[in-house]
């Protein structure tokens, strides 16, 4: 049964990767958070994320600050402010984002745990919108976990060409201990394939209070030039 579960998970991974076009141009940074399919009843949280994308032409720095919580036993709604550093080195508000996470299946009930994600983003000073939807899957194998994200993205507005894009994220994590869980992460998007190490840490307090931190260093392998991305996230749930 374990071998069958692993085969099914890897087959789904390969299927998602094959579905993604790799010759279109990218508008944004593919490297970001790998989502898990779980929602805690009555959860509330604050979150800060940073992504630094280094290329031969310069560095792109983006940050997210947000908060929200559960609106039911299986759904959580969060809002974010997105900031980016411009070519002059000034940091300013770039976009607003609303995110809905939906836990589709009770944890452990099927061969894997399933969730769904829906996002809507609006650029601050531009008539540009972006809608994201997709599935989030996680399967445990002993002390390891495989998490898969498959998203479909649609961009539209007066200041951008209407287009469809797709993204895939994967994380294979070893649950060594709560405070330190090393992982390998894979990101696939429009004309981008990246892979690299990461880790997750978790510190629990009284009740549902917990502090979670994540980091990852991703190297692009789809082009001759070696672009690097560093991601960092802090999340406090209470």
Run means of pLDDT, 10 residues per run, the chain, 238 residues: 46 45 48 96 95 85 96 97 84 96 96 98 96 98 97 97 96 96 96 94 92 96 84 96
Per-residue pLDDT at 89: 76
Q: What angle do CA 113, 19, 175 make, to 5 degrees?
A: 35
> Which CATH number belongs to the domain containing residue 30 in this structure?
2.40.160.40
Count of domains forming the chain:
1
Q: Torsion over CA of 202, 208, 209 and 212, rounded to 10 degrees?
A: 20
Q: Which domain holds residue 157?
A: 2-237
Per-residue pLDDT at 28: 58
pTM of the model: 0.86
């Amino acid at each position: 049964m374990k071998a069958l579960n692993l085969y099914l998970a890897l087959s789904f991974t390969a299927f998602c990767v094959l579905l993604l076009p790799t010759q279109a141009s990218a508008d944004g940074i593919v490297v970001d958070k790998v989502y898990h399919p779980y929602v805690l009843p009555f959860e509330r949280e604050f979150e800060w994320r940073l992504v630094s994308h280094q290329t031969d032409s310069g560095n792109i720095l983006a940050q997210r600050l947000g908060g929200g919580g559960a609106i039911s036993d299986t759904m959580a709604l969060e809002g974010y402010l997105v900031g980016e550093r411009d070519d002059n080195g000034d940091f300013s508000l770039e976009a607003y984002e609303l995110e809905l996470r939906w836990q589709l299946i009770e944890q452990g009930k099927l061969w894997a745990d399933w969730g769904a994600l829906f996002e809507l983003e609006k650029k601050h000073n531009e008539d540009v919108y972006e809608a994201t939807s997709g599935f989030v899957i996680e399967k445990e194998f002993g002390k390891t976990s495989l998490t898969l994200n498959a998203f479909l993205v649609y961009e539209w507005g007066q200041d951008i060409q209407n287009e469809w894009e797709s993204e895939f994220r994967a994380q294979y994590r070893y649950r060594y201990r709560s405070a330190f869980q090393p992982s390998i992460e894979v990101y696939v998007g429009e004309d981008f394939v990246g892979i690299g190490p990461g880790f997750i840490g978790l510190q629990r307090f009284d009740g549902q209070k917990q502090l979670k931190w994540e980091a990852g260093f991703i190297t692009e392998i789809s082009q001759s030039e070696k672009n690097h991305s560093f991601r960092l996230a802090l999340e406090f749930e209470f």
